Structure 1
Amino acid sequence: MKPDELEAFAAEVNGRLDRGLGVRVGETALVSRRVHVIDPTRPYEAQVKCLADAGQVFYRRSVAGEVVHVDIFHSLADVSHYAIAQASRRAVDEFLQEARWASCASTALADFIDVQTATGGGRATGSLKYGRKSSLQTAHRGHVHLAALMPREAAGLLYYLVRDAEQVIQRQGAELRRLDRIVNDANPGGTPVDLSPYSCPTDSLLQEHAPPAKVTDDCAMMKDALDAAADFGSVSSLASFLECVAAARRRENPYALLEREYGDAEAMLARLRTLDILSGDGACLALTDKGRQMALFLRRFAREMETQMRKVIRRSGRPRITPLDKSDFTRGKVRGASVRESRTIMKAEDADFRGAVSVPGTIGEWAVRCSQQGRRGPIEPCDIRIEQAQRRARVDVCLLIDASASMAGKRIQAAKHLARYTFLTCRDRVSVLTFQDRVVTPHVIRARSHRALEQGLSRVRPAGLTPLAAGIVEAVRLLGASHHAPSMLVLLTDGIPTMNQWTGDPARDALTAAEQIAQNNIPFTCIGLAPNKGFLRRLTEIARGTLYIVEEFDRDVLAKLVKDERSRVQT
């Protein structure tokens, strides 16, 4: 591009960017200084959030309008971020040469360009070993993302960045996708954008490490609220804690509340201070300005926050660690290795909306009818056959959770997360039973709604001894009343039984109770800790189930183990 053409291009782009609008470069790229939103149901349309500055939302910059956001759209493909970064560096070199723009060195300008594709990302001149979070990679399967910190005079660089990135996309076999429509959304209300999939460590030089004095952007607030709520397990728990801190007359010391409910108060407070939500120590904890804004935000967007939190929970179940040991005592018992939906061929009038026309079945019926009539004719409605998917029956999943005093803190929170994950990731009916002292409490019975589940989990309070035998008996009774529906029992315990049921030996009573699991042919999974492996192994062998020994109750590990065992249950 000639220097005068480059100047005209830069002037036109700057004119729209200065007004907070998006501009299309070529036919596939959207450029703005704002956040972009793409609706999967409208792949040829992009929305520019005119009130959400890209630099402030993505990089926490204190000054708006500094970062240029570029999205280049293509067909679903894994475009190499290494190739995009190389193309970006090459584009900088060519721009400086063509425009004779010598305000800074080539390397310095390229240092302030970030790239992200479905294979990863990072600073264009860095190691490019960042951006590997699965949700972040999935979100970029349909476009290449660039972010650049550049002065207005360097706007002509955008032409070279887009051109060279498009060439890389085409060389890697993907098709460029035309952007037909750009919607500039300047509505100050509405639901904030969920940016949790984009949260990931980075080596970007665009990041401002000093937190802004005031957070007013709903997108950034939602991201921080989700980060904080992840430690509390639910949005309602975070909101309750913030209200406890803000209360003029506190019913309970917030520090003691964290220590009792979550086990590691100092670590949680450190994360809340990092997010600039809390200040002070011990009994002198107080909300910052941002903390008070977040409390109001949670009340204003309670429903939207709960929806986004459910997405966060569904994305769990990808542990970094593995169980220490697994013992399978099912003795070849059939537990349904396949969970695929069965299909059957039926008449059109007997099928529902889930079916599809079976071409072989339809032709077969037509051939039989023509043979019987002795003549060939067209296919008639009576010949049409539908391949109908038979929906799998729901499974009664019973989580039998040790709620003795030793489970307080992180362990009981991991168990609650398991209940939420199981409920949100399948159509199964989830029940939660806890056992402590001499009491077995059914907190949730075949939950039908997320609210009912949360209400039940909020009543779980670890205390007392471990009546394991009583818990097993009650769980077997509950599953036995499910009228022959497929069932599954999951036992989560960190110790050995310390409360007897029939004799003076709590361990013997628990082993006797385990016989009922085998007698009722209930698929059984036990998850416990290494110090109690010997007893739990005998218990699981009697119940003819599967035992997993873990170093500690990690949320993602528990979710992954139960998900795998669930896939084995016959449906």
Structure 2
Amino acid sequence: MNQIATLNQEEIINNKIMDNLSRNRAVRIGETTVVSRNVHYIDNRMPEEIKILTKSDAGETFYHREHAGEVIHMDIFHEVGVLDHVALASILQEVLPKYLDPAKCNYLDYIDIQTGSGGGRLTGSLKYGNKSSIKKAHLNHVHITLKYEEDNLFLLLILIEAVENEIMRQGKEIRKIERIKHILGKSSNKADLSPYTTDFDSMLKNESPKYGSETREYEKKELALEISKEIGTLQDTLDILDKLYISKGDLKSCSEMYRKYGNYKDILDILMQKKIIEKKLNKIELTQEGKELRDYLKWHAKEIQSNLNKIMKKLPFKPSIYINTKYSKKTFSNQGKSRNTSVYMSQKNEWIKEIAIPETIITSIKRSRRENADFYLKREDIYEKNPYLDKPLDICLLIDTSASMTGDRIKSAKFLAEYLVNSTRDRVSVIVFQENDVEVIVPFTRNFNMIQKNLSKIDSKGLTPLALAIEKSLEYIKKKKKKETLMMLITDGIPTVSVWSSDPVMDAIKAASEIPKKDICFSCIGLQPNKKYLEKIAKEGQGNLYIVDELKTDLLIYIANKERKAR
């Protein structure tokens, strides 16, 4: 925005703002800024156009205020990039008080900001709005909300000028808004409201408990998703909340959870930060919000897991450093056909289902030329499509659950199992191995509830009996195999328990040599330090080897989908 020249111009702009706001309309100030008392958002298909939802009041929607028209919503646009919100807040705290009546300096407490680096109350800690989805949604604009007071409307012009100057000082260009479009609608999922439905230190919030049921439901869903993502899997989240609810954090219960979850202290810190738990004397208990979250997760487990899968699918995949070595000589019968469609000549006495148009036209043209006639279609020219349906697979996840897998590694492997059941038509089984034990923790199934329940039994401890695990897995697959099968080994270590000799590694290589004899496809995912021995395992098993820097959730999903498509 250009420098404000005269008092007369200020009065004209102020009157324009007041007039539009009183008529429930947005106003563009300068070239970069939209101001309204409603929710507005950008449709990525038309980034130059700002849509104003005239039936969605900003105060009611963002802050659950009981009366409309009490909050101003302002977006100031700039080129895509991360803007330092702390530096911006510092500038505003320096500039704005110069224009305020000293008796009204607390007005700054009623201003919130959000950029691509974070946000919060202008006078607060500015440590909020840190979810990746929130920051990503604010990479192209500064979002500001403030209390509506007619006497302070002149501050908007000063605020905008200060923000624009800071945007340019930080090396970003301001961006022009081409047009504003008013829509007779309420807020949709296109508008990211999540900064105001999680922990936030805004003083614009209505503290009244009389939230609408729809808004409260949205809050619970957002919180359930966030907590489940942080902890790892939905079932682990439920198990932890159940344990805290039943035991009220007694010493014995805590020691069990510390053993089961290597990162249990970090989990407790997350739950404490989100106000899901609280300390009472020497115990840890669920807060009222924690109890409500526990109940919500129980009733909406499938929905939450589906949302987690959608989030994972949308993540931009940036592979960690990994090496893919192929030793596989086997392919499934449907390899390369998953996206193909065969055609056949339509039979005269049968109903036509779906015409294969290119083949039909080409056949008709050729016949017409042979007959030296103009183009026309005859029944004998028609070809029909014969869609090839993918054959679902049987996927056996062979997961190392030795002590070194505790924490994020086992969390990622468990999430992969849930993801496959919820996102494919494949049957999935999970076999775990530790100490001298191999257990089919989940038999081949498409049942999501069974997957969730049984995965919660996994407890990382002990040594790595890989040879025994491969042997027992082959025996199980032979008994239960109904379809073409893919075995995926996920491990972070080397074998430490022998079966037939005194060398655990040689025993594991020997066991792997039996895999191709059983007509099973094989892939192995492991860590860089163990590459040498894993190459031997994969080569003997005639499978594909993936060496990764860490067993991360998105990477496991990427590899699993790659293996499925290759089959």
Shift of 1:515: 0.6
Rounded to whole Å, the distance in 2 between the matches of 1:381 and 1:138 is 56
**Contact residue 235 and residue 453 of structure 2 kept, 8 A:** no
Change (3 A) 1:316 1:263: farther
Give a deviation string over 1:489-533, Cα, whole Å, max 9, x none.
Answer: 211223333444445554333221111123346443222345544
In the aligned structure 2, how far is the partner of 1:82 from the partner of 1:6? 30
Q: Of residues 520, 536, 539 in structure 2, which corresponds to 1:538?
A: 536
Given that residues 343 and 384 in structure 2 are in contact (C-alpha distance below 8 angstroms), is that contact kept between their aligned partners in structure 1?
yes
Please give the secondary structure, in 2, of the residue aligned with 1:422: helix
Match of residue 445 from structure 2: 447
For residues 280 and 55 of structure 1, the distance between their equivalents in structure 2, rounded to whole angstroms, comes to 30
Please name the residue that 1:397 is paired with: 395
Letter in 2 for 1:547: L
Asked if the contact 2:38/2:56 (under 8 Å) is kept, the reply is no
Structure 1: give runs of 5+ residues left out of the alignment.
17-21, 73-77, 90-95, 166-170, 186-190
Q: 1:183 and 2:190 equivalent?
A: no
- Where 1:182 maps in the other structure, the secondary structure is coil
Residue identity opposite 2:262 in structure 1: G
Aligned to 1:459: 457
Match of 1:69 in 2: 73
> Which residue of the partner structure matches residue 149 of structure 2?
152
Q: Distance in 1 between matches of 2:81 and 2:468?
A: 59
Contact 1:515 1:542 in 2 (8 A): yes
- Distance in 2, matches of 1:542 and 1:278, equals 50
**Equivalent-residue separation in structure 1 for 2:515 and 2:117 (angstroms):** 50
Q: CA deviation at 1:472?
A: 1.3
Which digits, 9 at most, give the CA deviation of each residue in 1:115-146, with x for residues without a partner? 77xxx6778x9xxxx999885688689x9784
Deviation at 1:266, TM superposition (A): 1.7
Cα deviation 1:339-377 (Å, max 9, x = unaligned): 86113344675655xx8x63x323223224435666436
Task: Return the alpha-carbon distance in structure 2 between the equivalents of residues 407 and 547 of structure 1.
Answer: 19
Distance 1:45 1:295 in 2: 36
Task: Report the Cα offset of residue 263 of structure 1.
Answer: 0.8
Change (3 A) 1:309 1:437: same
Query: SS of the counterpart of 1:81?
Result: coil
**Runs (5+) with no aligned partner, structure 2:** 1-7, 89-94, 102-106, 123-127, 165-173
Distance between the aligned counterparts of 2:466 and 2:273, measured in 1? 41
CA contact (8 A) 1:467 1:497 kept: yes
What residue is the counterpart of 2:491 in the other structure? Answer: 493
Alpha-carbon contact 2:401-2:459 (below 8 Å) kept: yes
Q: Note if contact 1:35-1:48 (Cα within 8 Å) is conserved in structure 2.
A: no
Mapped to 2, the partners of 1:210 and 1:32 lie a distance apart of 13
Distance across 1 between alignment mates of 2:264 and 2:206? 26
Shift of 1:385: 4.5
Matches within 5 A, 1:332-343: 341-343=339-341
Give the match's secondary structure for 1:328: strand
Q: Which amino acid aligns with 2:185?
A: I
Structure 2 residue matching 1:266: 3-state secondary structure: helix
Q: 2:554 aligns with which of 545, 553, 556?
A: 556
AA aligned to 2:72 is V
The 5 Å alignment of 1:349-498 reads 351=353, 358=357, 360-371=358-369, 375-376=373-374, 378-379=376-377, 383-385=381-383, 390-477=388-475, 479=477, 485-498=483-496
Letter in 1 for 2:144: A
CA RMSD of aligned residues (A): 5.7
Pair 1:393–1:68, CA change in 2 (3 A):
farther
Distance 2:370 2:62 in 1: 74
User: Which amino acid counterpart does residue 181 of structure 1 have in structure 2?
Assistant: L
CA distance in structure 2 between the aligned counterparts of 1:524 and 1:333, rounded to whole angstroms: 9
- Matched residues in 2 for 1:347 and 1:24: separation? 61
Q: What does residue range 285-296 of structure 1 map to in structure 2 within 5 Å?
A: 285-296=284-295
Q: What secondary structure does 1:341 align onto? A: coil
Q: Is residue 261–residue 408 contact of structure 1 (8 Å, CA) maintained in 2?
A: yes
The alpha-carbon deviation at position 80 of structure 1 amounts to: 3.4
What is the CA-CA distance between 1:284 and the residue it aligns to? 0.8
What secondary structure, in the 3-state scheme, does the structure 2 residue paired with 1:255 have? helix
Supply the distance in 1 between the matched residues of 2:429 and 2:195 (Cα, whole angstroms): 30
User: Equivalent residue for 1:255?
Assistant: 254
Letter in 2 for 1:226: L
SS in 1 for 2:523: strand
Q: Distance in 1 between matches of 2:460 and 2:181?
A: 57
Alpha carbons of structure 1 residues 83 and 274: separation in structure 2 relative to 1, 3 Å: closer
Do 1:44 and 1:177's aligned partners in 2 also have CA atoms closer than 8 Å? Answer: yes
* Partner in structure 1 of residue 80 of structure 2: 81
Amino acid at match of 1:10: I
Per-residue deviation, residues 149-200 of structure 1 (Å, max 9, x unmatched): 3643366859x98xxx9xxxxx999986855432379xxxxx9x98669999
Cα 1:300–1:456 change in 2 (3 A) is: closer
User: What is the CA deviation profile of residues 267-293 of structure 1, one whole-angstrom value per residue up to 9, with x for unaligned ones?
Assistant: 111111111222228951122343344
| 1:328 equivalent in alignment to 2:325 | yes
